[in-house]
Amino acid sequence: MLRFVSTRILRALITILAVLTFAFVVLRMSGDPAQVMLGPDVPQESVDAFRKAWGLDQPLWIQYLAYIKAIFTGDFGVSMRDKASAMQLVIDRIPATLQLTIPALFLKVVIGIPAGVYAALHRQSAVDRGVILAAIFGFTIPSFVMGLLLVLIFSITLGLLPSGGQDTWQHGILPTLTMSIGGIGILARFSRSAMIEVMGQPYIRTASAKGMPWQHVVWRHALPNAAVPIVTIVGFMVGSLIAGAVVVESIFSWPGIGRLLVVSVTNRDLAVVQCILLMIAATMVVSNLIVDLLYGWLDPRLRAQSAH
Partner 1 sequence: MVSNLVELRGLKVAFDGVQVLHGIDLDVARGEAIGLVGESGCGKSVTWLAALGLLPGKATVSGSVRVDGQEILGGPRTVLESVRGKRIAMIFQDPSSSLNPVLRVGRQITEALAIHRSLLGDAAKAEALRLLDMVGIPDARRRFDLFPHEFSGGQCQRLMIAMALAGEPDLLVADEPTTALDATIQAQILDLLIELRAETGMATIFISHDLGAVSQVCERACVMYAGRIVEQGTIEALFDNPRHPYTRGLFDAIPRLDGPRERLIPIQGTVPHPRDLPEGCAFSPRCSHAAVDCRRHRPDLDPLADGRLLACHHPVGQQSADTRHNTETRVMETVS
Positive/negative CA dihedral, 260, 84, 273, 58: positive
Q: Quick one: which segment of 6-14, 33-41, 219-227, 253-261 binds partner 1 (CB under 8 A)?
A: 219-227
Binding mask 114-143 for partner 1 (x = CB under 8 A): ---------xx-------------------
**Least separation, in Å, of the C-beta of 15 and partner 1?**
29
Select 125 or 140, whichever has its Cβ closest to partner 1.
125
The answer to the question of residue 210 lying near partner 1 (CB under 8 A) is yes
Asked if 116 and 184 count as a contact pair (C-beta separation under 8 A), the reply is no
| Calpha distance 186→21 (Å, rounded) | 32
Q: Which of 45, 61, 209, 308 binds partner 1 (CB under 8 A)?
A: 209
Distances (CA, A) of 226 to 30, 51, 122: 45, 55, 16
Select 140 or 206, whichever has its Cβ closest to partner 1.
206
Residues 222-241 that bind partner 1 (CB under 8 A): 224-225
| Calpha distance 226→113 (Å, rounded) | 11
Q: Which of 49, 127, 132, 212 binds partner 1 (CB under 8 A)?
A: 212
**Least separation, in Å, of the C-beta of 220 and partner 1?**
7
Positive/negative CA dihedral, 270, 275, 278, 279: negative
Residues 178-207 that bind partner 1 (CB under 8 A): 200-203, 205-207
Select 142 or 224, whichever has its Cβ closest to partner 1.
224
Asked if 259 and 249 count as a contact pair (C-beta separation under 8 A), the reply is yes
Instruction: Report how many helices (DSSP H) and strands (DSSP E) the chain contains, helices first.
Output: 16, 0
Strand partners, 78: 85
**Least separation, in Å, of the C-beta of 224 and partner 1?**
5
Select 88 or 306, whichever has its Cβ closest to partner 1.
306
**Least separation, in Å, of the C-beta of 298 and partner 1?**
7
Q: Which of 208, 232, 267, 306 binds partner 1 (CB under 8 A)?
A: 208
Q: Give the DSSP per-residue string, 23-83.
A: HHHHHHHS--HHHHHH-TTS-HHHHHHHHHHTTTTS-HHHHHHHHHHHHHTT---B-TTT-
Which residues contact partner 1 (rule: CB under 8 A)? 123-124, 200-203, 205-214, 216, 220-221, 224-225, 298-301, 304
